[in-house]
Structure 1
Amino acid sequence: MQLEHLDYLSPLGRHYRLTLAVPLGSAPESGWPLACVLDQTQFQAVLAAVPGAAPLCGAVLGVDYVQENWRDQDYTPGPEGEAGRADDFRVLLRDVFLPWAHGRAQLDPQRRLLCGHSLAGLFALHALVHEPGLFQAMAVSSPSVWWGDAYLARLLAQPLPPAALTVPVSITVGEYEQRLGPAEEALPEPAREQRRQRLLERRMVDGARELAQELAQHQGGEPRFRMIPGCNHSQSGWVALPQGCLEWLADVWPR
Structure 2
Amino acid sequence: MDLQRRRLSQGLLAAAGLLVLPGPAAARPDMTRTMGTTVADTGLAGYRFESRVFAGAEGRRRHRVWLAIPDRTPPPPAGFPALYLLDGNAVLSRLRPEWLTALDEATPPVLVMIGYDTDLLFDGEARHYDYTPAPEGQASVRDARRPQREGGGAAAFIERIESTITPWVASRTQVDANRKALWGHSFGGLFTLFTLCTRPQAFGIYMPVSPSLGWADNLLRQSLDHLAARPPERNIPVWLCRGDNEVRVTAEMNADQLRQRKQQGNAAFNHFADDLDRIPRVEAHRRLYPGLGHGDTFSAALPEALRIVAGLAPDPAWS
Query: Aligned Cα RMSD in Å?
Result: 2.9
Cα distance change on mapping 1:47 and 1:109 into 2, 3 Å: farther
Note if contact 1:139-1:245 (Cα within 8 Å) is conserved in structure 2: no
Residue matched to 1:245: 306
Q: 1:147 aligns with which of 206, 209, 215?
A: 215
Residue matched to 1:98: 166
Which region of structure 1 is more displaced relative to structure 2, 219-228 or 128-137? 219-228
Q: 1:37 aligns with which of 61, 85, 97?
A: 85
Residue matched to 1:230: 291
Q: TM-score, structure 2 length as denominator?
A: 0.68
Q: TM-score, structure 1 length as denominator?
A: 0.83
Q: 2:157 aligns with which of 55, 64, 89?
A: 89
Distance 2:203 2:159 in 1: 13
Cα distance change on mapping 1:11 and 1:145 into 2, 3 Å: closer
Cα distance change on mapping 1:164 and 1:242 into 2, 3 Å: farther
Distance 2:58 2:262 in 1: 34
Deviation at 1:224, TM superposition (A): 1.2
Cα distance change on mapping 1:135 and 1:47 into 2, 3 Å: farther
Q: How is 1:61-76 mapped onto 2 (pairs within 5 angstroms)?
A: 61-67=112-118, 68-69=123-124, 70-76=126-132
Distance 1:107 1:6 in 2: 18
Query: Residue 238 of structure 1: SS of its match in structure 2?
Result: helix
**Between the two proteins, what is the percent identity of the paired residues?**
26
Distance 2:64 2:282 in 1: 38
Which of the two has greater helix per residue?
A: 1
Note if contact 1:8-1:15 (Cα within 8 Å) is conserved in structure 2: yes
Cα distance change on mapping 1:246 and 1:126 into 2, 3 Å: same
Q: Number of residue pairs matched?
A: 242
Distance 2:271 2:290 in 1: 19
Residue matched to 1:19: 66
Cα distance change on mapping 1:204 and 1:45 into 2, 3 Å: farther
Q: 1:50 aligns with which of 99, 102, 110?
A: 99
Residue matched to 1:185: none
Deviation at 1:150, TM superposition (A): 2.0
Q: How is 1:64-213 mapped onto 2 (pairs within 5 angstroms)?
A: 64-67=115-118, 68-69=123-124, 70-79=126-135, 80-83=138-141, 84-158=152-226, 159-163=228-232, 166-178=235-247, 190=251, 200=261, 204-213=265-274
Q: 1:8 aligns with which of 39, 54, 79?
A: 54
**Which 5+ residue runs of structure 1 have no aligned equivalent?**
181-188
Deviation at 1:204, TM superposition (A): 4.0
Distance 2:98 2:252 in 1: 35
Distance 1:38 1:212 in 2: 21
Note if contact 1:171-1:208 (Cα within 8 Å) is conserved in structure 2: no
Note if contact 1:139-1:171 (Cα within 8 Å) is conserved in structure 2: yes
Residue matched to 1:183: none
Distance 1:25 1:165 in 2: 29
Note if contact 1:115-1:245 (Cα within 8 Å) is conserved in structure 2: no
Which region of structure 1 is more displaced relative to structure 2, 54-63 or 108-117? 54-63
Deviation at 1:209, TM superposition (A): 1.4
Query: Residue 162 of structure 1: SS of its match in structure 2?
Result: coil
**Which 5+ residue runs of structure 2 have no aligned equivalent?**
1-46, 142-151, 314-319
Which region of structure 1 is more displaced relative to structure 2, 96-105 or 42-51? 42-51
Deviation at 1:167, TM superposition (A): 1.2
Equivalent residue letter for 2:115: D
Note if contact 2:64-2:117 (Cα within 8 Å) is conserved in structure 1: yes
Deviation at 1:191, TM superposition (A): 6.6
